[in-house]
Amino acid sequence: MLQVYLVRHGETEWNAARRIQGQSDSPLTAKGLYQARQVAQRVRNEGITHVITSDLGRTRHTAQIIADACGCEVIEEPRLRELHMGVLEERILDGLTEQEETWRKQMVDGSPKGRIPEGETMTELAVRMRAALDSCLDLPAGSKPLLVSHGIALGCLISTILGLPAYAERRLRLRNCSLSRVDHQQSAWLANGWIVETAGDVSHLDLPALDELQR
């Protein structure tokens, strides 16, 4: 059985400001750095062998803190990037027009062909996220990787493992530096392949961690 840990990056300045990030970037806040240190302490004794991260700054910084605690190198994997939010990247959430808010909501409300202009569909996101996860199957026997990615990206990945379409209504909250785990296994009582062991655990955080819309 292969166990893969999944971590969302720590809080960023744009998270706190309700600014849409997508594949744009902003630094971790002091709280985000603290969250990263806390999740690092949570997993430091789990036997993590590989820390694999989206190549965006907020995930790389989170991943480095975790890797230092686990004694690993950081491996960049661009397929773990956040959903590309197109023309809405860098925009303040509360300043969107009615049309722009309609585009944004299509990414979370179950619209099958939802796409922000110049951005990705959820199906496109799901394909690259699943490919990044499946690449862990090629790691040496006995590996225990940890992937650092983003809220929408990880939520989409976990939802599709559960059998939902990539564009399904978004109902899984993954807060900053939440910890999830998926396993690849064969079982008499579960479907073969990837299964979800835990999702969105924040018991290691001693301060409230907010999702991108809870401000």
How many Å apart are CA 32 and CA 37, to the nearest integer? 9
Q: Is 13 annotated as ligand-binding? A: yes
Q: Report the half-sphere exposure of 84 (CA within 13 A, side-chain side).
A: 14
Catalytic residue among 77, 82, 120, 212: 82
Q: Is 47 annotated as ligand-binding? A: no
The residues pairing with 162 across neighbouring beta strands, listed in sequence order, are none
The amino acid at residue 115 is R
Q: Is 8 annotated as ligand-binding? A: yes
Q: Is 14 annotated as ligand-binding? A: yes
Residue 190 contacts by C-beta under 8 Å, 6 or more apart in sequence?
A: none
Q: Is 59 annotated as ligand-binding? A: no
9 is catalytic: yes
Q: Is 58 annotated as ligand-binding? A: yes
Q: Is 91 annotated as ligand-binding? A: no
Residue 43 contacts by C-beta under 8 Å, 6 or more apart in sequence?
A: 5, 7, 66, 69, 70, 146, 179
Residue 209 token pair: 């961690």
**Residue 65, SS3?**
helix
Q: Is 176 annotated as ligand-binding? A: no
Please choose, from the candidates 205, 157, 147, the residue with its C-alpha nearest in 3D space to the C-alpha of residue 178.
Answer: 205
Q: Is 212 annotated as ligand-binding? A: no
Q: Is 130 annotated as ligand-binding? A: no
Residue 58 token pair: 């907020």
User: Which residues does the annotation place in the binding site?
Assistant: 8-15, 21-22, 58, 60, 82-85, 151-152
Catalytic site positions: 9, 82
User: Which residues does the annotation place in the binding site for substrate?
Assistant: 8-15, 21-22, 58, 60, 82-85, 151-152
